[in-house]
Structure 1
Amino acid sequence: MFESRKRHHLASRAALAGIALVSCPAAGFAQEQTTPQIVVTGQPLAAPESVAAYDQQIIAADRLRASASGRIEDALSAVAGFQQFRRSDSRSSNPTSQGVTLRALGGNASSRSLVLLDGVPVADPFFGHIPLSALAPERLALARVTRGGGAGPFGAGAVAGTIELESAGADALELFEGEALSDDRGESALSATLAPRLGSGFAVASARWDRGQGFWTTPESQRVPASARARYDSWSASLRGVAPLAPDVELQARGLIFDDHRTLRFKGADSTSSGQDASLRLVGRGAWAFDVLGYIQARDYSNVVVSATSFRKTLDQRATPSTGWGGKAELRPPVGEAHVLRLGADWRGADGTMFEDAYNAAGTVTARRSAGGRNTDLGFYIEDEWQMGALTLTGGARLDRWTIAQGFFRDVSGVGTVTTDNRFADRSGWAESLRGGGLLRLGGGVTLRGSAYSGLRQPTLNELYRPFTVFPVVTRANAALGNERLVGFEGGFDLVPAKDLRLSLTAFDNRVRHAIANVTVATNLRERRNVGAVHARGIELGGSARIGTVSLDGSLAWTEAKVEASGALNGKRPAQTPELAGSATLAWQPRTGWRIAATVKHVGAQFEDDLQTDVLPAATTLDGFVQVPLRAGISLVLRGENLTDTRIVTRNQGGSLDLGVPRTLWAGLRVALPR
């Protein structure tokens, strides 16, 4: 079995190389075009107007690129309610804790929100976390955040909303853009993007490298000789080509490779995460519009666990090779001006194996473990939009065939004796999801909206088969986990009384049934289990205003979330979910190329664990960003993270703490060369 998995992984990497080569002929084809009126966009099919029936917020490119840290998770946190499993960012957290969720529907480290990059799901095939360090904001045209579940393409997995990232094309980029910054700890952030036009098409090549000694995540009072800074060294490179195949048909090809190394808490406690992704997309904008997409991903992860008492290596999670693959096909037939009909199917799969070695205090291997399996999902969906004057209605349905197969867990002693060899029964089934909503424009800039929806999320391979330890707590896997099911509804309004003023309010009620949580079953022992439900209801506010060269953008979310289950968990707030979160950015742009901005963010108190014994206090931070042109094409960039040096507790295990980013000051140059 292990050899077949290895061959499968190698074959997937070979397929990645084959797909990546397609972008080269595509670029060449673009050069051969002699029809100047054909100009491709590199964008997906336009979203139907009815998507506004769902609570949606768009973060434009200028805001994505002007975050204090330069990290995508920092930019996305402008949407109140966005959170990772932990408060730490992608420089100072374990990659597996980078699960993304919305609306306080978290509770474990897997993503309950669907994250798409140019239409492709980007979550790790084995763990379900998001490779945030590989998603550079400067490569993006926008981020569209939809809070609330739904059907549609790749809808299985969107039980806490969808985050759609769209890459920037040649129209949004200069011929060359580059940035070099350093902070007050001597760390560096380097990035460069080249976006030439090639005939009627274009290519975008981009690279980024971040490295540094990191800050102390361990409070000074708890440091020991083995304590270490959160050192990080990550790079990523992407190549994207877009070429016309006909006046209304274009081919989009994208490749991404990344590598990420981090050290957490102790010397030798190193983790690595790497990946190679590729996708091909065919978009037709004619009367019979279509979107056909295929992708493949090869990922790997390793992690060394160091004892918090002996400070020796106790576990070496030496490799977790995994492969993700899939695609979708969507057709929009011409059914009249008052309708937008979407018919489609999508398929995705995940295959992976974990290999780890356990050590005793003498440094001898005591056990060698492996675990893994394969998950697949085949979905069919239909959505229709009706426009009837001031009223727009939308409705959709989705049917998924899911499978959980080839699951196993094997444990071999240090002397080669098989102590555990479990093979788990294959499972499969059908699940339906529905969503519908409406918009009513009342005039005067007032729009009412409402929607209801259901959704599905499969447990990840990690949740099913891989146990883990965050000393001294052991969390067991559970191969019997069932799917999560979402049922929710929401209503609200958008108010645009003037061109430069917008306000929105949404009230929602979401329930994730059979939610997967890390449940305490004994002292220092937890197990992944399906609980009755996680029920979240609350209010989300958003607003933006422009007065001349000054702008204000804000977002606020208040959420009452609780676990509905038998026993000690009933009525308790899910782990890692704050009640209140908010963000506000005040910016001044006196002329082109200038930006001076300050951002205040607040995250309310939350609990580390399911039994609410360890508190993570509330934190309010202030960030700053300044860009000042020095001469044509060259700008000075200043950034400040956590300017008030607020103490941000990111982990509290019985008083053993980890801290988030302290005050950090950056300075550097940004270069933009026009075409």
Structure 2
Amino acid sequence: MNYRYFTAVSLLGLAWIAQPAHAQDAEPREPIVVTGKGLPDTPATPAYGTQVLEREQVVSTGSGRIEDVLSSVAGFQQFRRSDSRSSNPSAQGVTLRALGGNATSRALVLLDGVPMAHPFFGYIPLSALVPERLETVRVTRGGGSGAFGAGAVAGTIELLSADAETIGPLSASALVNDRGGTEASAVGSANLGQGFVVAGVRWDRGDGFWTTPRADRVPASARAAFDSWSASLRAVAPLNDTVELQANALIFDDERTLRFEGADSTSTGQDASIRLVGRGEWAFDALAYVQARNFSNVVISSTRFVRVLDQRNTPSTGLGGKFELRPPVGPDHVLRIGADLRISDGELREDPYSAFSGQRTARRFAGGRNTDLGFFIEDDWTVGDLVLTAGARADRWTIEDGFYREYDADDALAIDERFADRSGWDASFRGGAVWNAGGGLSLRAAAYSNVRLPTLNELYRPFVVFPVVTRANENLENEELRGFEAGIDFEPSDNVSLSLTAFDNEVKNAVANVTLEPTLRQRRNVDAIRARGLEFGANLRFGTVSLYGSLAWTDAEVEGSGASAALDGMRPSQVPEIAASATLAWTPAPDWRLATTVRHVGKQFEDDMETDVLPAATTVDAYAEIPLARGISVVLRGENLTDETIFTRNQGGSIDLGVPRTVWAGLKLRLGR
């Protein structure tokens, strides 16, 4: 892995030294403005029903975790209801609009333009995405991918890092909870010539809580212990009056225990990216990134409580980039032309063990490479109060070098399968319109399509959540989104924003875990998952009081035939019908903030046959930040204050629980504010 660290350091070094030498000008020059952002939004961005979470919402949740920030957008969900301290990392697939069904992300998550999904599994490293390092979060439910890249069949989540002005010289906090867990975080910034640098670090650790109900605990049962840290470094510098260089690096390590002693998992990563943004007449955005990720996991038998599987290593690499050009085509048009590339390469290495002898029974290796090269064009046309947009993508994809190899207990080759390479072209489109009717009223409509390649995990890696075995499937086809929506936005003032969206989205060839026998499943393409529903949003301000609300009602069902015929008309697994969130906040003075959040998630099913129920859950969180002295505040946070019982897993009565009532207290230091 040394070359990856060298790459990260080299990219950051470029950002530090990439300040031009300025000659003495005969006349004063306008100051160079460095933003650290990509190109500005286009006029038709609202056509796709986006919702923006501002920094004050991002940094004031009861848990301090990014998944709770995103849960403020009704319709956001992880594969399981667990948070990023008490779940297996590989279950952290995220989706929108009730288009879930397995642990792979159907939503495209971007951090400063870089896709964050694990190259092998497709899950999101949530613990590494620290809220206090972010400025805003923009969520687009549905909408296709357009210029974002392939994979956004459920929507796009854009995370934008905060700049030096937002961060200030230093912001640090240290908190402890009522079970002895701790959270320590610091983020600071400094001017770098005419640019800036921002660095952050966070460390979370604790013995966790019991995920196993009291009546089901055995001597081998364990709390959901966690120990994770992440560090980031971001440098931004101008190259000239219109071009700036941005370099990012992120490293993280996440260790967790789930259900039993020894059932340990780790998730690690080293990411680096470099970006050139030009804001001249020929505006452009050029991005390149490299990601080195790894994952390990030990499976413990729930009957004999010994190791039965050691997924000891999953080295994976993500490589890619994007180039977008906006040529000058007149004041009424914004034309975007470009290409993007994503290469995912990875290999699973695991050893099964006998539950009786404790001896290794085999060695298994599986993996491959997926590549997606996309070309896109999109134009926004402003005609008075009407904005029209239309765009198209062409994706050249390849699935290659797939293999499965197994050696027996004596290290003799027992299975050696090489899977045929596959490739093809997929076309997708999107278009929409926004009419500003006056008085703050806007009407919008959009239609779109997109594709998602199955991940290496879905293609080649089987897994066990005892007693259920889920097989991989090297013949999976690409998922294809088809959808449309219409909405109303009403913003009569800066203090009132209301929205209503009706949508109909369908993912054809959706990958699902299909039950073949009572304890056997396989990843298969079902005909489709169709989701139709309504989404409501409200942002209201009354002086120092604000109210943010979001509600999603979704009628989702599986369309199945052949091997999946039994699923036809069923609700997809892990998908609720109702999801809602409301936050009431009071900011009586600078550096003060009191907020409480109520969330409700409706009943959902663990399995595809609607037999194992996860009951509805309503939780109450709270956040309080109260100044003690200049630059020092006390912080109080509460999670699930009513101690609601949250079912996160139910497989034939084997149950896992989510976070119980948890109270945090600590101090925050802010300098230069």
8 Å CA contact 1:500, 1:547 repeated in 2: yes
1:410-445 per-residue CA deviation (whole Å, 9 max, x = no partner) reads 111111232211100000000000000000111111
8 Å CA contact 1:155, 1:455 repeated in 2: no
2:13 equivalent in structure 1: 24
Note the residue ranges of structure 1 that are not aligned, 5 or more in a row. 1-9
Relative to structure 1, the CA distance from residue 117 to residue 46 in structure 2 (aligned partners, 3 Å threshold; closer, same or farther) is same
Instruction: Tell me by how many angstroms 1:498 deviates.
Output: 3.1
Q: How does 1:276-675 map to 2 (within 5 A)?
A: 276-360=270-354, 361-566=356-561, 567-674=565-672
Of 329-338 and 414-423, the range deviating more from structure 2: 414-423
Q: Quick one: which amino acid aligns to residue 617 of structure 2? A: A
Instruction: Tell me by how many angstroms 1:499 deviates.
Output: 2.9
C-alpha distance in 2, partners of 1:225/1:15? 42
Q: Quick one: which amino acid aligns to residue 13 of structure 2? A: C
Instruction: Tell me by how many angstroms 1:502 deviates.
Output: 1.2
* Secondary structure at the counterpart of residue 74 of structure 1: helix
State whether structure 2 residue 119 is matched by structure 1 residue 125.
Answer: yes
Instruction: Tell me by how many angstroms 1:218 deviates.
Output: 0.3
8 Å CA contact 2:43, 2:382 repeated in 1: no
* Secondary structure at the counterpart of residue 63 of structure 1: helix
C-alpha distance in 2, partners of 1:323/1:633? 42
* Secondary structure at the counterpart of residue 246 of structure 1: coil
2:174 equivalent in structure 1: 180
C-alpha distance in 2, partners of 1:29/1:399? 35
Q: How does 1:27-426 map to 2 (within 5 A)?
A: 27-30=16-19, 37-360=31-354, 361-426=356-421
C-alpha distance in 1, partners of 2:18/2:436? 46
Relative to structure 1, the CA distance from residue 294 to residue 550 in structure 2 (aligned partners, 3 Å threshold; closer, same or farther) is same
8 Å CA contact 2:48, 2:143 repeated in 1: no
Q: Quick one: which amino acid aligns to residue 232 of structure 1? A: F
8 Å CA contact 2:445, 2:486 repeated in 1: yes
Q: Quick one: which amino acid aligns to residue 476 of structure 1? A: R
Relative to structure 1, the CA distance from residue 79 to residue 33 in structure 2 (aligned partners, 3 Å threshold; closer, same or farther) is farther
Relative to structure 1, the CA distance from residue 431 to residue 499 in structure 2 (aligned partners, 3 Å threshold; closer, same or farther) is same
C-alpha distance in 1, partners of 2:357/2:21? 66
8 Å CA contact 2:235, 2:246 repeated in 1: yes
C-alpha distance in 1, partners of 2:163/2:63? 24
Of 490-499 and 472-481, the range deviating more from structure 2: 490-499
8 Å CA contact 1:643, 1:664 repeated in 2: yes
8 Å CA contact 2:202, 2:230 repeated in 1: yes
C-alpha distance in 1, partners of 2:512/2:549? 31
C-alpha distance in 1, partners of 2:536/2:149? 25
C-alpha distance in 2, partners of 1:279/1:457? 23
8 Å CA contact 2:146, 2:429 repeated in 1: no
8 Å CA contact 1:55, 1:506 repeated in 2: yes
8 Å CA contact 1:303, 1:318 repeated in 2: yes
1:595-642 per-residue CA deviation (whole Å, 9 max, x = no partner) reads 001100000000000000000000000000000111111111000000
* Secondary structure at the counterpart of residue 6 of structure 2: helix
Instruction: Tell me by how many angstroms 1:31 deviates.
Output: 9.3
TM-score by length of 1: 0.97
Q: Quick one: which amino acid aligns to residue 606 of structure 2? A: E
C-alpha distance in 2, partners of 1:451/1:29? 42
Instruction: Tell me by how many angstroms 1:476 deviates.
Output: 0.2
Instruction: Tell me by how many angstroms 1:661 deviates.
Output: 0.3
1:85-115 per-residue CA deviation (whole Å, 9 max, x = no partner) reads 0000100000000000000000000000000
8 Å CA contact 1:20, 1:254 repeated in 2: no
Instruction: Tell me by how many angstroms 1:229 deviates.
Output: 0.1
8 Å CA contact 2:20, 2:238 repeated in 1: no
1:25-65 per-residue CA deviation (whole Å, 9 max, x = no partner) reads 42244496687812311011101020100111001111110
1:140-168 per-residue CA deviation (whole Å, 9 max, x = no partner) reads 11110000041323431000000000111
1:510-533 per-residue CA deviation (whole Å, 9 max, x = no partner) reads 000000000000120000000000
1:155-206 per-residue CA deviation (whole Å, 9 max, x = no partner) reads 3100000000011111211111101000001110001011001110000011
C-alpha distance in 2, partners of 1:565/1:15? 44
8 Å CA contact 1:262, 1:271 repeated in 2: yes
C-alpha distance in 1, partners of 2:15/2:149? 30
* Secondary structure at the counterpart of residue 49 of structure 1: coil
Instruction: Tell me by how many angstroms 1:380 deviates.
Output: 0.2
C-alpha distance in 2, partners of 1:607/1:53? 33
8 Å CA contact 1:153, 1:328 repeated in 2: no
Instruction: Tell me by how many angstroms 1:24 deviates.
Output: 2.6
* Secondary structure at the counterpart of residue 45 of structure 2: helix
Q: Quick one: which amino acid aligns to residue 3 of structure 2? A: A
C-alpha distance in 2, partners of 1:616/1:408? 36
* Secondary structure at the counterpart of residue 27 of structure 1: helix
Note the residue ranges of structure 2 that are not aligned, 5 or more in a row. 24-28
* Secondary structure at the counterpart of residue 195 of structure 1: strand
* Secondary structure at the counterpart of residue 361 of structure 2: strand
C-alpha distance in 1, partners of 2:659/2:555? 28
Q: Once the two structures are aligned, what percentage of the paired residues are identical?
A: 63
C-alpha distance in 1, partners of 2:598/2:288? 40
8 Å CA contact 2:4, 2:292 repeated in 1: no
